[in-house]
Structure formats: C-alpha cells, structure tokens
Structure 1
Amino acid sequence: MTLFSDLRWRGLIHQTTNDEGIDAWLAEKQRTLYAGFDPTASSLHVGSLMGLLMLRRFQQAGHRPIAVVGGATGMIGDPSGKSDERNLLSKEQLQENVEGLGKQMARFLDFDDSKNPALLVNNFDWTGNWTYLDFLRDIGKNFPVNVMLAKDSVKSRLGRGEDAGSAGMSYTEFSYMLLQAYDFVHLSNEYGCELQAGGSDQWGNITAGIDLARRMRGTQLYGLTWPLLTKSDGTKMGKTESGAVWLDAERTSPYQFYQYWINVDDADAGNCLRLLTELSQDVIELLDIARVNDPGKRESQRRLAEELTRLVHGEVALATAQKATEIFFGAEIADLSDAQLTEIFADVPSKSLSRSRLGDGTLTIVDALVESGLSKTKGEARRTVEQGGAYINNRRIEGIDALLSTEYLASESVMVLRSGKKKYALLRFE
C-alpha cells in the first residue's frame, strides 16, 4: 500500500489540489512538505496531533517534513474557523510558546535523520524585518482582493457583520492569508518545499500560497488537507469539562491523557484508531470486529490509549497511567506519591486529619470510615467491616478493632479508603 492510499484508507485526506496525480507524484522521489502550528500556547493539544502525525507519516515514508511554528502569523491570529478575533500575544510570550512547541515536536519527528531530517522553522525569521512598504510592494501587489474575498474563511466572517454581534474582520486578520501564503513561497525557495498540508479549515490559506507562488515565481506547488478531529456528534475531539487535553504532562498528566482515550465512545474509537495511530489496517479491522462482538471489553479504547500515551509521553508514563487505572478498579496501592494519588482520586471526597492520630491508638477502621464520610454512623461502619466491604489502599481490613498507623499510608501522607466495590475516599494526615 502506498503512503497516499494508506492516508486515504485512514480517512486522512479531505481535499487535494491534484486528486488523480498526487499518488504517483509522491512515489516519483522524495518530496518536501510542511505543516504549520499556531503558537497560541506553550504546549500543543490533541487537535495538533493530526498535523504532527501527518508529518511523521510522510517522514517515515521517506519524505522530508518541515514544521513551521508561526511566530509571525501567531502575532496576528488565523481567522479560519474563528467567529471572533483573537487576543494578540506579546513577542515575549510568543517566543516562550515557540520554544515549548519545538521541544514537544521532537517526540514525533526525527530532526537528526541522515536521509530526510525534519526541520523546525519559525516564520518570524523571514518576515520580522519587513517594512510595511516592502510587504505591500513584494507581496500585496500579487494578491487580487477579489480572490481573497472569495475565500470561505473571509466570507463567513464578513457575512456576519456587526448586526450579528460581530465586529466583522480587522485588516490585521485579513492580512493573515498573505503572510501564510508567503510562507509557502519562502519554503519553496529555500528548501524546495512543494506540498503544504493542513486541516480542512486551512484550504483557503493553502490555495492562496499556491496562487502566490505561481504569480511570483511561476512555480507549481500542491496542497492537501485532513479532516478536523471531531466526535461522531460533530463536537471537537480533545475537549473536556476542565478544558483542552494538552500534550504537555504538566497541563494534562499522562494518567488524565490515558483516561481521555480509554473513555472514548464506541462510535468514535474506530475513527481515532485510523486517524491517530500507526497500527496497521489488519490490526485496526480486527479491533473493529472485537468492538462489535464484545463492546464491554473496550479493546479498541484500551489500544488507542496505549498507543497515544506511549507516543506522547513514553513507556514509563504509559506504565504509570496503566497502573493508576488498575488501582481505581481495585489493584493494591503502593509506591505512589501524594501527587499521583491526588490525581487518580481527584473526584473522590477527602478529609484532613492530624498525623498524630496515626500514633496515639485512637483511630480505628470504624472511625476512619465515619470520618471519611464513607459511613454515616459507627454502626454502619461496623457492618461494612464485618461483611468484608472495608478496604485501605485496596486491601481488605479484617476486624472492627483494627488500629490505623503510618504503616497504612499509601504515600507520604495519604490513605485511600474504600467501601464496597467503588466507593472511595481519601484521608490526608498533616
């Protein structure tokens, strides 16, 4: 299977500028392509995975990928797919974000490959010294305004107008297309880049770059887009009640990242396996069958979570996330930190007690169940213990007179109590 036919099978091709010839064109020789990444934050998020993995797939197939971080275009803000203008970032904040994104990209792309090393560039490097007159003379004169106005990203914003509660589109945003279009021309000149890839909302910007290269250099360039990463109900993938799912472990921990994917709906699991993993067609189709025959096992979601957590965070983080998941479903708890336990049990009740109570012989399992809120009365707590339903750190406690000491701590200062199968609470000893 060729690279393009694999991309097509996975559903990763939304549009191309040469549907009939691009497969053979890619097979002729090594091609250089680029995709852009918006530095609005110091970390990429789940939505960025499509672009990162597209570049990765091309590199693994022998082509040369360029990741463009938009230090210049990020100062303006891409209007594509947006209903309102974004707040502008300072140069200092943008530089910090650019550096953060570069570090994350190294997990996906090989910048040291001897045959087709990936390249990371910042478009501020070739646009930052322009004067306004230079920009108008060299770039602006090659852009027919009627062509710009015909782009969907522009029409949708202008069409709303002020009557719809929108300020329309500023001249700053309107200029974004010119800057991104020139990126393609510059990369073609400097690195022989012939193909731009982007999300389906970037089609207007991509074709603008192709048109600009033809007008300025007489060069033929190409473009392709992938579909936006959405759920079956049409909402964006990678959004939770608490916000975006980030690729930075400090913003979204490996455990939270793993949990997001393991809880994907059956209706979305197959699509995610195709779009976001490097599993073969045969493996994915077997998982499709398993999902239909025994959806309760959630084999697709488990494999999806494993593949993505390994790719984004590494083997060690994956093992920790898997261990944390097992703990929540009853595995014994040991060798974890306060922070890890707090994260795993973020949504369960907790209470702080004096650490002295672990050494003065006054805290029994019955008292602990009551003080944690797992039992309303001591009588209820006694019955829970006698019926074998009381656990500390997922180990059953026998005997209503069991005294709790520091030996029962699961970490530096946290004890995990459980009543029955899934009713948890934390006691913190400070």
Structure 2
Amino acid sequence: MNTLLEELQWRGFIAQHTDLDALDAALEEGPITFYAGYDPTAASLHHGHLVQLMLMKHLQNAGHKPLALVGGATGLIGDPRMSGERTLNPSDVVAEWVEKLRGQISRFLSFEGENAAVMVNNYDWTKDISAISLMRDLGKHFRMGTMLAKESVAARLRSDEGLSFTEFSYQILQANDFAELYRRYGCTLETGGNDQWGNIIGGVDFVRKSLGATVHAFTTPLITKADGTKFGKSEGGAIWLDPEMLSPYDFFQFWINVDDVEVPKLLKIFTMLPREEIERVIAEHEANPRARLGQRTLAREVTSLVHGAGAAADVEAASGALFGSGDLATIDAQTLKDATAQLPSADLTLGESTIVDVLVDSGLEKGRSAARRTVASGGAYLNNVKVEDEDAVITEADLLPGECVLVRRGRRNLAVARPKA
C-alpha cells in the first residue's frame, strides 16, 4: 500500500471509502487533485473541521494538490440535520462568513509551489443554474430511492417536522461540486466527515453518470470519546478556531484537559508530529500519566497550528504561572485576562484592601477568621508570592498586566481581584 495511505490509516483518518486499492494506484501514478468542502454555517470553523484541515495538510505535504471549497451556495441551503430544519441565514451574512472561513483555512495550506492550494467557492458555478437546468441537466441523474435512503433524510421524514425540499435538494448541489471540480481542475478525490458519506458517494456517482469518469472518496471518522459520546464542547460551547469566539487560552485548556485514554488518538489526528515522536510521547504518557506529557504536547501542538507558536507559548506560560510555576508579571494583559475570565472575582481598593479582604470577598474563604488562619498557616498567596502579613495592603505596585492581582488559597484555589472602577 502507498506509504501515504498507510500513514493516514495509522493516524486514524480513513473510515468509509470507495476503493482504497484504486486510490492507492492513482496516488502511485503521480500527484492527484483533491478537495474538501466547508459550509459557512457560522462565523468560524470548529475543532470538527480541524480533522479535514489536518488531512488536507498531510495530503499536500505528500505532493498532492488541495482545493479548499467554501460553500457560498450550499451554505445558503443547509445540509439536513437530524435535529431539525436549519434557520436560513441572510445571504450577506453567509458571504461574510465565507471570507472568514477562507482566512482560517488559508493558514493550514500552502498557496505556493507546484502543488499550490486553490481556494474555491461553489457559489461561482451554482448561482447561474436555472430551475430548468437543475431539474433537467442535474436532477435526471439522481434516483429518488437513493436520495430518500440517506440516513439524515430518512430520519427527518419520519419526524413530526418533516423535511423541506430546500434541504432535500442539498445533496444534488454537493454532488455537482465534485463534477465541476473534476471539469475545472481534474479533481479526482473528495474527503469529508463520516456523516457526509451519503453526499460524497452521491458526488462520485454523479461524476460517473454525467461525465463517465471514475473518481475516489473517503471519509474521516467522527471524533468521539472512548465511551462513544461526542468529543468536544467547552464551557462556552463549541471549540471555535476564531480567537474572538474562543480565546487561545481557553482553546489550549480544552486540549490540556482531555482524558488520558483519548491522548493517543488525538495526538495522531490533531498534530503533525512524526510517528516516531508520537509513539515516544504516548509511551511516556502511558508510563506516567500524572505528568500529563501527552496532554501538554497535544495542547501545545494544536494551539500552535491554530493560533501560532507565539500564542501557544504565551498561553502555556500563563497556564503554568497561574499555579505558581512561572512569573505572572511576564504574561501579557490579554492572555492574563483570558486566563482569569472564569475565576471567582472581587473588587479591591488600592491602599486599603488586604489579602484577608480578597479571600473573603472572592469566596475563597467563608469568613475573616478562616482567612486569617489560612494566612497564618502559609496557605495564602498574592501573585504567587506567599503572604505572611495579614494586614499588608494591596497597592498599585502589586498590579499585574491588565490591572489585576491573583490570589491563591493552597495549591489550586484561585481568584482574581481588580480595583473598583
């Protein structure tokens, strides 16, 4: 088997497929052109889309040419969901989201060299299709039995809400994308998530029926936890790739907090580390899971890919500094603000408030007597420095970047305090 396919299988990227032997032969013959599609259903991609981005990166690194399709047309329609009919977003909003997604995708691919990536938008070839052309030229190649058998379609038809013709027609538009990309760029491979298999295989069939060509497809598994439940979601919702929707600090924390058992799988899928390095990290992680080497490596690598190495270094330093293993004063104001956003908080009056006041006002201690005992026992810290004088006031000189102080009780109980406005 082609070294690339073997590597992709080892990493866990291949689920359903048309014919791996035929794809293997095509890869051996020379570089191929492939595509993956991303619909602008929100202002940002999330960690689920990251699987396809990583796959595209591997394929391009192996010499193959990527087409990154952002669905300006299909994003206006909406792929049928199990949970019910989508809300159709205004066309100007979808157009704005298209540009945002294009910017995110572009950071993962190279647009230079012999196998330079190309960004495409299916609105370009869909906007001029007439109703007659949709029915006569495209629709004649689709059989109702096959379309109705799709899991998402069948489930919605059984539901009380039913399924609109709008969403039912989505699979025709996606299938046409594959045919258009074959015509325009010689694209012979489509990849996507496992939940897209019905749409993807529809495209393979449409290319064969309408153009007489043989093309390939495979899907990536949906990322689930060891118990089979969905992998993802932070306290605030989806694991967005846009730093305005999920801060780099919170993004880093999501990955560093994954369960030990998930680490090997996630390192293979979500990092570009070579196999030897991944196997070394997994071996050390399994030998000493309390050291959390696997999680720290995973969080650092994924955050670097999405937000850049500089941001990854900043948030990793902030994560350590919060719990006493670094200098808080060296953390920039925005990272410190993101890192403390979810902590208990208190107001303070500079020159008057003491550590006892903040411990009580933030809820780290239930009363002043308990707070004084904590100070006396050496368990109270201001900006990671042990406080020995319970009456010492907090001054402007104590403020960290972002105009705040960090208070800690014991090893892991944290709060943030800021001067009254």
TM-score normalised by length of structure 2: 0.94
Specify the alignment match of 2:55 in structure 1. 54
Distance 1:141 1:415, change over 3 A: same
Matched, 1:340 2:339: no
Structure 1 residue 336: deviation in Å? Answer: 4.0
Specify the alignment match of 1:197 in structure 2. 191
Instruction: List per-residue Cα deviations over 1:327-382 (Å, max 9, x = no partner).
Output: 222134214455433422233321223xxx424xx334344434444344444333
Specify the alignment match of 2:162 in structure 1. 168
How far apart in 2 are the matches of 1:240 and 1:378? 35
Specify the alignment match of 2:101 in structure 1. 101
Matched, 1:374 2:364: yes
How far apart in 2 are the matches of 1:337 and 1:281? 35
SS at match of 1:190: helix
Matched, 1:150 2:144: no
Matched, 1:420 2:410: yes
- Larger displacement relative to structure 2 (91-100 or 146-155): 146-155
Asked if the contact 1:31–1:64 (Cα under 8 Å) also holds between the matched residues in 2, the reply is yes
How far apart in 1 are the matches of 2:363 and 2:17? 59
Structure 1 residue 234: deviation in Å? Answer: 1.9
Structure 1 residue 149: deviation in Å? Answer: 2.3
SS at match of 2:103: helix
SS at match of 2:20: coil
Structure 1 residue 285: deviation in Å? Answer: 2.0
Within 5 Å, which residues of 2 pair with 1:324-335?
Answer: 324-330=318-324, 331-335=326-330
How far apart in 2 are the matches of 1:373 and 1:156? 49
Specify the alignment match of 2:29 in structure 1. 28
Distance 1:172 1:277, change over 3 A: same
SS at match of 2:328: coil
Asked if the contact 1:7–1:13 (Cα under 8 Å) also holds between the matched residues in 2, the reply is yes
Distance 1:388 1:25, change over 3 A: same
- Larger displacement relative to structure 2 (214-223 or 410-419): 410-419
Within 5 Å, which residues of 2 pair with 1:228-243?
Answer: 228-243=222-237
Matched, 1:68 2:69: yes
Specify the alignment match of 1:394 in structure 2. 384
Distance 1:373 1:230, change over 3 A: closer
Distance 1:420 1:152, change over 3 A: closer
Specify the alignment match of 1:227 in structure 2. 221
SS at match of 1:137: helix
- Among 290, 298, 321, the residue aligned to 1:304: 298
Distance 1:412 1:147, change over 3 A: closer
Within 5 Å, which residues of 2 pair with 1:8-23?
Answer: 8-23=9-24
- Among 350, 355, 358, the residue aligned to 2:350: 358
Asked if the contact 2:346–2:358 (Cα under 8 Å) also holds between the matched residues in 1, the reply is no
Distance 1:78 1:338, change over 3 A: same
Structure 1 residue 151: deviation in Å? Answer: 3.0
Structure 1 residue 289: deviation in Å? Answer: 2.0
Distance 1:145 1:352, change over 3 A: same
SS at match of 2:250: helix
Asked if the contact 2:82–2:155 (Cα under 8 Å) also holds between the matched residues in 1, the reply is no
Question: Percent identity of the aligned residues?
Answer: 47
Instruction: List per-residue Cα deviations over 1:57-79 (Å, max 9, x = no partner).
Output: 11100000001111111111112
How far apart in 1 are the matches of 2:359 and 2:156? 58
How far apart in 2 are the matches of 1:322 and 1:252? 16
How far apart in 1 are the matches of 2:354 and 2:194? 61
Specify the alignment match of 2:118 in structure 1. 119
- Larger displacement relative to structure 2 (377-386 or 221-230): 377-386
How far apart in 1 are the matches of 2:238 and 2:367? 41
TM-score normalised by length of structure 1: 0.92
Distance 1:181 1:105, change over 3 A: same
Equivalent residue letter for 1:186: E
Structure 2 gaps of 5+ residues are none
SS at match of 1:15: coil
How far apart in 2 are the matches of 1:363 and 1:254? 32
- Larger displacement relative to structure 2 (13-22 or 318-327): 13-22
How far apart in 1 are the matches of 2:142 and 2:110? 36
How far apart in 2 are the matches of 1:13 and 1:178? 24
Asked if the contact 1:332–1:395 (Cα under 8 Å) also holds between the matched residues in 2, the reply is no
Matched, 1:257 2:257: no
Instruction: List per-residue Cα deviations over 1:128-184 (Å, max 9, x = no partner).
Output: 1222112112111222222322333333332x243xxxx222111111111000000
Asked if the contact 1:38–1:74 (Cα under 8 Å) also holds between the matched residues in 2, the reply is yes
Equivalent residue letter for 2:247: S
SS at match of 1:424: strand
Give the number of equivalent residue pairs.
418
How far apart in 2 are the matches of 1:202 and 1:400? 61
SS at match of 1:51: helix
Specify the alignment match of 1:215 in structure 2. 209
Asked if the contact 1:56–1:108 (Cα under 8 Å) also holds between the matched residues in 2, the reply is yes
- Larger displacement relative to structure 2 (34-43 or 14-23): 14-23
Q: CA RMSD in A?
A: 1.8
Asked if the contact 2:314–2:331 (Cα under 8 Å) also holds between the matched residues in 1, the reply is no
Instruction: List per-residue Cα deviations over 1:100-141 (Å, max 9, x = no partner).
Output: 001111110112x22111011110110112221121121112
Structure 1 residue 412: deviation in Å? Answer: 4.0
Asked if the contact 2:336–2:402 (Cα under 8 Å) also holds between the matched residues in 1, the reply is no
